């Protein structure tokens, strides 16, 4: 069976660096940090009192007010970016779009965490009488994000959610990619969103000792590959990627950002939260993606790393890159955009795929900011694109995401050519 080709025809973004694709890309290529003091709740007693929050977002710009109360913030974010993506791709009310052949696959790691927290706290304050919001469960469960998107547009194709911690939205992209390749859909809205900046989210990750506690300087706290990195910075928001079968896109005259050519998956099978010390899972997921794309390592120009700014995670991924790419690893441009966006958990893969797609489109490699001290564990010959974006030819970009539980997912985008 010949697999069909898949291209990117629409994008949407809601991030700590901007509430649309253009603002996001302008700030990420300028090396802007999205971190600042937490405003979502009183964090004065928390070990970590800062995060990368979405700023100036009003969900009522995208959702009718009577519907807002039926959704958790992670679904607000999903709707907002999907509206942008649908508009960008020209899908709405388009006779060329068959709703039965158009689907939605969405990723989130924790979904309606704020809803769960608020409902349980409210119950605990009472006398034991169960008084729960009738929308409690629908607001909380992750699959309602793609459900709401499909209901908004009447898209009746494949519809579900993927959950693999911080790899969730990359898994969503891979699934959507495969449904189109296998002729089970023509168009897929995919991506991910997360809204974890609340008491239980920050407190829970603090308990894991996963977050940076650099409260005196939030803007420089996310410092992947720096010797003094001390954990990741929580982020929120999401991104939407519209994937479409090539001939379908050409027939309706859609603009094409890039071609999605491969996806890889693997498991560390090692530890709940720590990566394999030799990076076996990370190595295999990149090899699997390259094999799926029928590409050689030398054909990749840019790697957007998982790069969370954690002491044990960063070196292992770079070891895996060196193993997977051999000598070409030293010719790659490598960067961690989490140094600017923070870590969007289940939404990270979608936002980093977006950065990779725009890197291919514009021939720009975004930087890794906040590098101050070299880490002797990290090979200094690697080009980690510190401090400033680089203008260079990017024919193909690979993006990694790894999640708690040892879940690894990788996607590859390249310039579209006939």
Residues known to be catalytic = 166, 306, 343
CA distance 339 to 233: 8
Structure tokens of 279?
Answer: 């990076």
Residue 128 carries which DSSP code? S
Nearest Cα to Cα of residue 224 among 385, 28, 360: 385
Nearest Cα to Cα of residue 219 among 81, 76, 72, 27: 27
CA distance 265 to 250: 29
Note whether 55 and 24 are within 8 A (CB).
Answer: no
CA distance 243 to 10: 7
Note whether 202 and 314 are within 8 A (CB).
Answer: no
Note whether 267 and 403 are within 8 A (CB).
Answer: no
Nearest Cα to Cα of residue 143 among 86, 71, 64, 92: 71
CA distance 364 to 351: 16
Tokens 């993927």 correspond to 162
């Amino acid at each position: 069976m010949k697999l069909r080709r898949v291209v990117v025809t629409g994008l949407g973004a809601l991030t700590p660096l901007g509430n649309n694709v253009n603002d996001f890309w302008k700030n990420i290529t300028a090396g802007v940090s999205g971190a600042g003091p937490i405003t979502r709740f009183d964090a004065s007693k928390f070990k970590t009192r800062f995060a990368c929050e979405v700023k100036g977002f009003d969900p009522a710009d995208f959702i009718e007010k009577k519907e807002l109360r039926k959704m958790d913030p992670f679904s607000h974010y999903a709707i907002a970016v999907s509206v942008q993506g649908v508009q960008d791709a020209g899908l709405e009310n388009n006779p060329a779009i068959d709703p039965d052949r158009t689907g939605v696959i969405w990723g989130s790691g924790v979904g309606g965490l704020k809803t769960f927290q608020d409902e349980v706290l409210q119950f605990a304050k009472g006398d034991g009488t169960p008084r729960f919001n009738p929308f409690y469960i629908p607001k909380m469960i992750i699959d309602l994000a793609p459900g709401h998107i499909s209901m908004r547009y009447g898209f009746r194709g494949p519809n579900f959610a993927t959950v693999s911690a911080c790899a969730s939205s990359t898994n969503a992209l891979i699934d959507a990619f495969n449904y189109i390749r296998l002729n089970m859909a023509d168009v897929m809205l995919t991506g991910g969103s997360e809204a974890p900046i609340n008491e239980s989210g920050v407190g829970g990750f603090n308990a894991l000792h996963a977050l940076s506690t650099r409260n005196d300087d939030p803007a420089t706290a996310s410092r992947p590959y720096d010797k003094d990195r001390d954990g990741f910075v929580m982020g929120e928001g999401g991104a939407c990627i519209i994937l479409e079968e090539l001939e379908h896109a050409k027939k309706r005259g859609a603009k094409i950002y890039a071609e999605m050519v491969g996806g890889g998956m693997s498991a560390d099978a090692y530890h709940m939260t720590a990566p394999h010390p030799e990076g076996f899972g990370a190595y295999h997921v990149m090899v699997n993606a390259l094999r799926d794309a029928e590409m050689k390592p030398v054909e990749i120009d840019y790697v957007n790393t998982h790069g969370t700014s954690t002491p044990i995670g960063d070196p292992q991924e770079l070891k895996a890159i060196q193993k997977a790419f051999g000598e070409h690893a030293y010719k790659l441009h490598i960067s961690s955009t989490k140094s600017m966006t923070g870590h969007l958990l289940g939404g990270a893969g979608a936002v980093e795929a977006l950065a990779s797609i725009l890197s291919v489109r514009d021939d720009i490699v975004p930087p890794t900011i906040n590098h101050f001290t070299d880490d002797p564990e990290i090979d200094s010959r690697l080009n980690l694109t510190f401090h400033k974006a680089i203008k260079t030819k990017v024919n193909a970009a690979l993006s990694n995401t790894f999640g708690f539980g040892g879940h690894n997912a990788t996607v590859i985008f390249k310039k579209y050519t006939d």
